[in-house]
């Protein structure tokens, strides 16, 4: 579990925490299915500021049936650019070690500063490359 959440009480209402954003230190972007009523949520990208200067933890999820359409790449780019616009320059992500697509996405489009794998999860710290 990420260090930024270790200090939260065990009884914390995670649904409320994840749904509450302030658009500066915590932001979430959601993608809805275009043709469903009510709209089905098909992807989420988010960042949360952590106790390291200029650094946010990022997370992404795309529904299985919507993968391999470029949606994850667009969401990844959008959340990193939103964080950068708010003066965050470093990103931390925890990715399942066998999630090759996400690991490849991060290494392809960013400059990875460090990575380590423990207990089936890979922690990456990265930056956007210079323009």
* Arithmetic mean of pLDDT, 28-45: 86
Angle, CA of 81, 106 and 130, to the nearest 5°: 50
* CA-CA-CA-CA torsion sign (15, 21, 25, 26): positive
Asked whether the predicted pLDDT for residue 46 surpasses 90, the reply is yes
pTM: 0.83
pLDDT at 1: 39
pLDDT average, residue stretch 22-32: 92
pLDDT for position 12? 66
pLDDT at 40 over 70: yes
At residue 55, the pLDDT reads: 97
Per-residue pLDDT tens for 54-95? Answer: 999 999 999 999 999 999 999 999 999 999 999 999 999 999
Domain ranges within the chain, ordered by starting residue: 3-91
Average pLDDT over residues 2-10: 52
Which architecture does CATH list for 3-91?
3-Layer(aba) Sandwich (3.40)
Sheet holding 90-96, edge to edge: 26-32, 41-49, 55-62, 90-96, 121-127, 111-118
How many Å apart are CA 21 and CA 42, to the nearest integer? 19
């Amino acid at each position: 579990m990420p260090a930024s959440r270790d200090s939260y009480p065990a009884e914390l209402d995670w649904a409320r925490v994840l749904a509450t954003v302030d658009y500066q230190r915590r932001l979430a972007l959601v993608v809805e299915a275009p043709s469903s009523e009510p709209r089905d949520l098909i992807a989420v990208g988010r960042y949360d500021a952590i106790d390291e200067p200029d650094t946010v933890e990022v997370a992404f999820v795309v529904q299985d049936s919507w993968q391999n359409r470029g949606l994850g790449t667009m969401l990844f780019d959008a959340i990193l650019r939103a964080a950068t616009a708010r003066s965050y320059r470093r990103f931390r992500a925890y990715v399942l070690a066998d999630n090759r697509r996400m690991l490849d996405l991060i290494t392809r489009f960013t400059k990875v500063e460090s990575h380590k794998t423990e207990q089936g999860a890979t922690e990456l710290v990265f930056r956007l490359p210079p323009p």
